[in-house]
Structure formats: C-alpha cells, structure tokens
Amino acid sequence: MPKKQKFGAFAGVFTPSILTILGVIMYMRLGWVVGNEGLIGAITIIIIAHIIAITTGLSVSSVATDKKIGAGGIYYVLSRSMGVPIGGSIGIALYVGTAFSIALYLIGFAESFNGYFDLGMTINDYRITGTIALVLLTALALISTSVALKAQFFILTAIIISLLSIFLGTREFAPETVHMVATEGSVTMEVAFAIFFPAVTGFTAGIAMSGDLKDPKKSIPVGTLSAIGVGLLVYIGLAIFMAYNINSEVLKTDYNILMKIALFAPAVVAGIWGATLSSALGGILGGPRILQAMSIDKVTPKIFSKGRGLNNEPVNALLLVFLIAEAGILIGELDVIARVVSMFYLTAYGFINISYFLESWANPDFQPSFKIKRWIGLLGFIASFGVMFKLDMLAMLGALTVIGGLYFWLQRKEVKLQSNDVWRSVWENIVNAGLKQIDAKVDEDSNWNPNIILFSGESDHRHYLLELAKTVSGRTGIVTNFKLILDKDSKRPLKRAEQVVRDETFKELGIFARQIKVNNIYQGITNIATTFGFSGVEPNTIMMGWPKGLENSKEYSEMTETLLFLDYNLLYLDFDRKAKFGNYQTVDLWWRETDSKNAEMMLNIARFIIASPMWNKTNIRVLFVNNNNVDKKIIRKKISKLVEDLRVNVEIKIINNAVEQKAFYDIIKDYSEFTDLTLVGIPNYKIEKQAEFILKTNHLFKSIGSTLLVKAADNFNVLDLDFTKRKKSKAKSRSGYLKSRKR
C-alpha cells in the first residue's frame, strides 16, 4: 500500500509561502505604492506590514513547536490553544479571507494577461479571464496536490529570473528627483497600506498545509520565517530600485511598468503570471484544508470533512472555496478586493498573536522548543488592531462584530475537543495574582466585601434564602452554599468530585455549591466555618435560616459561641412564607444605642439591596428608638451624616420612647408590620440567655414579615449612637454656667 505523500520545510512551507508573498501586489501594485508615498513612505508601509507578519510568524511558529499540529494550520493551532469558539471564528474568517485572496491574485493575473495580449481591459474582461483561470487551477488541485506543489518549483524559478531581468533592465524612465515622501495628489498612506498588506499575508499558505508536512514542528518555523525574511528583503530592495529608476508619475499610472523596463520582458510576464497563479493555487490548496479541519471538529457542516483518495483531498471544501473565489472575481476590482482581504487577515493575525501571548503567560504546560519573548505576541496584537483602526474603524468594528457573532454561535453550539484551552490557565493566573494582591494588603477600614458561607437547607422556600444571600453579597461578593448530608453511620466522606454541586438554580444566581457528609449538623457547620476558605478571600459571614425550636439546644449554643469567637458576621433570615418579600419595595433598619456595629453592617447591606434589580424601587427607612428624650434634631443630624458617608438614600424616623418605655420588639411590631424586609440587630447577650432571646424573637416574627437578624463582626466600625453622652455634657455645661452666675 503506497504511503501518504508528505513534504518538508522547503516544498511544503517555504515555497507556497514565498510564491504567495512575491505575488500580484509586488508586480502590479508595489510601484504604485512607491509612486504615491515616496521611498520613505513605501518603506514605512513595508516595515509596518512586516512587523505584523514577523510577530505573527514568530507567534505561530512558537505555538507550533509546543503542540502537535494537525491538518488545518492556524485554525488547528488556535482551536487547541484558545478553544473552539475563538479558533473556529478566526478559522472561518481566515478561510473566507483565503478564498477572497484567490480572487485578488486572479484579477491581478487577468490585468496582466489581458494587457499583454490586448484582450480587453474592462471589469467584465477581467471577470472572464479570472474565471477561466480559476476553473483550470481548481482542476489542477483536484488532479493532484503533489503535482500542484511540484509545479511551484518552476514558478519560483520564473520569479527569480523575472526579478533579475527587472534589476538589469533599462533606465529610460529614471526620475530627475527621487521623491522620498508623498507628493500632492497622492492617495493617503492608509489606502496604500490597505492595498499593499495582502502582499505579506502569504506565509499562511505554508502553515495551512500543516497536515501534509513530515515534521510540522520543524518545518513551520523554518519555512515560515525564511519566507517572511526573504520577502522583506525583496520588497525593500525592489522599492529602492523603483524609486531611483522609475518616475513617480509613471509608477502611479502604469501597473505594467516592470514589463517595460525589464531586460527581457517575457521573463517578467512569466514571473507575474507564475506568481499570481501560484498564489491563487496556494489558496486553493490551503483554504479547503482549513474548512476540512473545522468540519472534522464539527465547527462547520460535516459534508466538508469528506475527502478523496489516499491523502484525503478535501474535494467538497474545495468546491466551496471555488464559489467564494468566484464571488470575489465578480467584484472585478483588485484594489477593492485587496482592502477586504486585509481586514480578514489583520483580524486573524491579531488573535493569533494574542493566542501566543496568553499561552506563554498563563499556561504552565506551554513549553515550545522554538522560544521567543512574550511581548512579541502582544506587540503583534496591538499592531494588528491599531492598523485596522487607522485603516477603517467601521470595517474593524464590522470584522469584530462578525468574529464576535461566530464566537458566541460556536460557544452556544458547545463543540468539545479532547484538549484543554488556554482560558482556564488565564483565569487561574488572574485569580492567583489577584489573591496575592488582596492577601498582601490588609486594610481593616476597607468597605465590607461579603464572602458568605450559606446553609440554606432543603425547605420549600430555600430559593428565597439563596436569592437574598446573593442580593446581600452585592456585585463582587462570594456566596458558597453548603448542603449538609446527615450520615451518622458512614465513615467515608464524599469524593471531591461528588462534593461539587452543579445546579441550574445556583448557576443562575452565581452561587457556588458544595455538599458534604456530617454526623452532626452543628458540628458540621462549626467545622466548615473553621476550615473553609483560603488566603485573600477568607469567608467573613455565616448565613442561614432562623433556628426555631432550638432555644434549649446545647449543641446550637456551642455552635453559636464558636461562630462568635471566630468573629464571623451572622445573618439569620426568618422568612414569612405567606408574605414572602412582599413587593420588594420597603426595607426597615432598626437601630438602638447598643447597635453601633450592627448599624454599620445594616447600611452596607442596604446599599447592596438597592443595587439589586429586584429591589431597585425600594424605600429604606432607618428607625431609631429614642429612650432618653434626646433632641430629635441632634439624632437626625448624626444619623444623616452616617448615612451620607455610606451613600445610601434613606428616610430617617426617630421614635420617642422616653415616657412610655415600651419594649423594643413591641415598637418594631407597631412600625414594621407590613414591611417587606426588616433588619434587626442581634444584641450582645450571654449564651445562657439564649433561650429567652430566641423565644422573644420568635414571638416578634409572628407579628411582622420576613426579617433578617444581623450580628456584625469586630472589624465593622463603631457608630456613635449613644446620644445621652452629648445630653449629659450639655447639662454639665449649663450647670456650670448657672453656678458662675450665682457667684
């Protein structure tokens, strides 16, 4: 059985790449660029274009020496590094760009061919010639890839002979003055760059042949970088030659001037035709292989994955390339096609570079044999999108919209590959760096950023507790829900994978969920509170439902003592099953002189509540019980200042209780009977009085709606709510004044 034909760096990568680089733009438009922009302007364009090409070539070569490269070239590299959604979206863009570039080369061929044989120079004439050439090249690709690649050696020889003929040619069009910069009436540098840029995109032709290479890891870096380097030298040398030997006005207007100055014109004709046809052939060979690889991965329709023969030639994918290329040929204008191709390739190159940068920065398993500096990828990314922005901001936004649409489509399609992508490593690196920063800067006075351990239980109204926990945690807070499975007999814990709970409810709310076996619920809560968390994001709050019927439980008392000793914030929700959270429109915060730290925590919670979409029309009330007949103005002024500092808009209500001396809970019943959510502080009480406190609180809950009990940890600030000090101070001052009057 014959073996599948494989190619080395020269035949498989360098030759198709250099033939595409030294193609239609070099022969038909480089002179036009020099004529319009002057020598310095032209060299600037060449260098900027090659910065993008070189950085992209280095990036893709480095990635190619780290991973096993299969068929599909750049698509394969991106999909295995950054994941299928990005790899597929860029692969599709690159595929379409490659197909359109075939039209670019064949329209260039038609311009030269028709001009040489005087067959007509209208757009329709170019369309006819280009279509005939496309049909013949497609037929050649269908016959044999090997024959097509071998034909490239003859074309490369023809290009070398044509360049020698040009450099040794006549000087009859030599200028009197060499223009170094653009002259009046010239096109802008942006336009010139957009038309020139496809000249440096040819190196992807070799990478696209990755599935047909003997040793992709060796051949891709050597062949790609060699082709880019040779192309750079040829373009700069030819630009200098043209500037000193051909008048700028002639360069602007005569696209076939190289044939006229050549020592042997037929050699240049052969070079132009060979270069344009071989470039088109490179796209015809490489483009279908990109689509075939994507179809094998189920990114694109499966029909395009089917091949023919020993080498699995992508026949169906080739026919689609033919149709897209023909659509480009029907456009008929080389300059227009060149600008379209530029945008597709610049987008793809930008993402290739950022792919390498992220791989080298974030992936600990990234160990390429071809090593380059990480910043090269970042430079290529910035250069690609910077140039796109400068060329045509609307076209750039359009390209990004298309790529973004493809990305989200592929993400929803959920194509899975047996490979890891770089994004997990990126997030791990970001999280790691962030945790180190957080852990290094301990600021006792910073705003409360909730990290809640939630014990939601299994009740019918659990969802409301989950919902409130997420609301209270704010936009950046963390909530981890623990399900405790009581199993007194089993001594084996759940496996780590079994401890992770993935549920749509938790996913929708953005809550992490775990489950563990315990032989005692209260001991389980204590153990979790003692051990769960890690540096930088230690839990600071315990939240659970209000424990009814546990007023005499010793185990519950011990658990509470431990949680208080560990200095957690405690949040207990008594949920009203009938009223629920009402209309999510009223929240009451109850303060008393002894609630100094609880008061600040309540204000923090209020700030998070009103930021929640469900509570965005909420009216917040701060209710303060004035037991000592302090002037209401003094209390209101002080509370207003505290509220203002925390940026929460509230209504302040002062309740005089100096005469009646009603019990605090009785006052709450009078004012918060119909409130949607009431926040009440848990006072400092001795643990032996727990039963009395729970019974009183249970009695309160019968008369009001859903209530959140709050116990703040020591790190909260003490708000000065004891206004009796000020009253006594004023009384002493007045007494001293009266005594002095008597004297």
pLDDT at 408: 80
Claim to verify: residue 615 and residue 642 sit in the same structural domain? yes
Q: Residue 56: which residues within 8 A CB-CB, separation 6 or more?
A: 203, 349, 352, 353, 380, 384
pLDDT above 90 covers a percentage of the chain that reads 20
Among left, alpha and beta (phi > 0; psi -120 to 50; other), residue 253 is: alpha
Question: pLDDT tier at 734 (50, 70, 90 boundaries)?
Answer: very low
Average pLDDT on 245-267 reads 88
Q: Residue 617: which residues within 8 A CB-CB, separation 6 or more?
A: 584, 585
Instruction: Please name the amino acid found at residue 283.
Output: G
Claim to verify: residue 635 and residue 509 sit in the same structural domain? no
Of 183-192, 329-338, 692-701, give the lowest mean pLDDT range: 329-338
Question: pLDDT tier at 542 (50, 70, 90 boundaries)?
Answer: very high
- Looking at the predicted structure, is the pLDDT value of residue 5 above 70? no
Instruction: Please name the amino acid found at residue 431.
Output: V
Claim to verify: residue 592 and residue 518 sit in the same structural domain? no
* 3-class state of residue 479 by DSSP: strand
pLDDT at 69: 65
Q: What is the pLDDT of residues 126-170, one digit of tens each?
A: 999 999 999 988 887 777 656 666 677 888 888 899 999 999 988
Question: Backbone phi, then psi, for 309, in 5-degree steps?
Answer: 80, -175
Claim to verify: residue 47 and residue 116 sit in the same structural domain? yes
pLDDT above 70 covers a percentage of the chain that reads 86
Please check whether residue 366 lies inside any domain of the structure: no
Given 512, 547, 568, the domain boundary residue is 568
Of 141-155, 292-306, 529-543, 649-663, give the lowest mean pLDDT range: 141-155
Q: What is the pLDDT of residues 212-235, one digit of tens each?
A: 677 777 888 888 899 999 999 999
Cβ atoms of 602 and 589 closer than 8 Å: yes
> 548 is in which domain, residue-wise?
448-568
Residues comprising the chain, all counted: 743
Claim to verify: residue 281 and residue 346 sit in the same structural domain? yes
Q: Could you tell me how far CA 346 lies from the centroid of its own chain?
A: 18
- C-alpha span between 423 and 2 (Å, rounded): 42
The CATH number covering residue 95 comes to 1.20.1740.10
Claim to verify: residue 399 and residue 471 sit in the same structural domain? no
Beta strand pairing call for 512-518 and 586-591: unpaired
- Looking at the predicted structure, is the pLDDT value of residue 470 above 80? yes
Given 568, 590, 624, the domain boundary residue is 568
Question: pLDDT tier at 737 (50, 70, 90 boundaries)?
Answer: very low
Count of domains for the chain: 3
Claim to verify: residue 558 and residue 589 sit in the same structural domain? no
pLDDT at 50: 93
Question: pLDDT tier at 740 (50, 70, 90 boundaries)?
Answer: very low
Please check whether residue 467 lies inside any domain of the structure: yes
Q: What is the pLDDT of residues 271-323, one digit of tens each?
A: 888 888 877 877 887 788 888 888 888 888 888 887 776 667 788 888 898 99
Number of H helices, E strands in the chain: 29, 10
- C-alpha span between 194 and 402 (Å, rounded): 20
Claim to verify: residue 392 and residue 510 sit in the same structural domain? no
b/e 460-470 (16+ beta carbons within 10 angstroms → b): ebeebbbbbbb
- For every residue of 5-28, DSSP letters joined together read P-B-HIIIIIHHHHHHHSSHHHHH
Q: What is the mean pLDDT of the chain?
A: 82
Q: Residue 50: which residues within 8 A CB-CB, separation 6 or more?
A: 200, 228, 231, 232, 235
Question: pLDDT tier at 743 (50, 70, 90 boundaries)?
Answer: very low
pLDDT at 677: 95
Claim to verify: residue 558 and residue 668 sit in the same structural domain? no
- Looking at the predicted structure, is the pLDDT value of residue 180 above 70? yes
Please check whether residue 515 lies inside any domain of the structure: yes
Question: Backbone phi, then psi, for 711, in 5-degree steps?
Answer: -130, 110
Question: Backbone phi, then psi, for 36, in 5-degree steps?
Answer: -80, -40
The DSSP 8-state label assigned to residue 213 in this structure reads B
pLDDT at 425: 65
- C-alpha span between 372 and 365 (Å, rounded): 16
Please check whether residue 532 lies inside any domain of the structure: yes
Q: Who wins on pLDDT, 438 or 346?
A: 346
Average pLDDT on 480-486 reads 90
Please check whether residue 333 lies inside any domain of the structure: yes
pLDDT at 633: 85
Cβ atoms of 311 and 4 closer than 8 Å: yes
pLDDT at 733: 42
- Looking at the predicted structure, is the pLDDT value of residue 362 above 80? no
Average pLDDT on 241-263 reads 89
Claim to verify: residue 516 and residue 650 sit in the same structural domain? no
Please check whether residue 11 lies inside any domain of the structure: no
pLDDT at 549: 72
Average pLDDT on 460-476 reads 87
The CATH number covering residue 719 comes to 3.40.50.620
Instruction: Please name the amino acid found at residue 659.
Output: V
pLDDT at 581: 92
The DSSP 8-state label assigned to residue 210 in this structure reads G
The DSSP 8-state label assigned to residue 416 in this structure reads -
- Looking at the predicted structure, is the pLDDT value of residue 732 above 60? no
Residue with tokens 């990004």: 400
Given 507, 542, 568, the domain boundary residue is 568
Claim to verify: residue 393 and residue 473 sit in the same structural domain? no
Please check whether residue 468 lies inside any domain of the structure: yes
The CATH number covering residue 465 comes to 3.40.50
Encoded tokens for 284 = 């015809």
Q: What is the pLDDT of residues 398-412, one digit of tens each?
A: 777 877 788 788 777
pLDDT at 88: 84
User: What's the predicted TM-score (pTM) here?
Assistant: 0.65
pLDDT at 92: 84
Q: Which of 283-287, 357-361, 441-445, 617-621 has the highest mean pLDDT?
A: 617-621
pLDDT at 587: 93
pLDDT at 166: 92
Claim to verify: residue 106 and residue 171 sit in the same structural domain? yes
Question: Backbone phi, then psi, for 553, in 5-degree steps?
Answer: -80, 120
Please check whether residue 143 lies inside any domain of the structure: yes
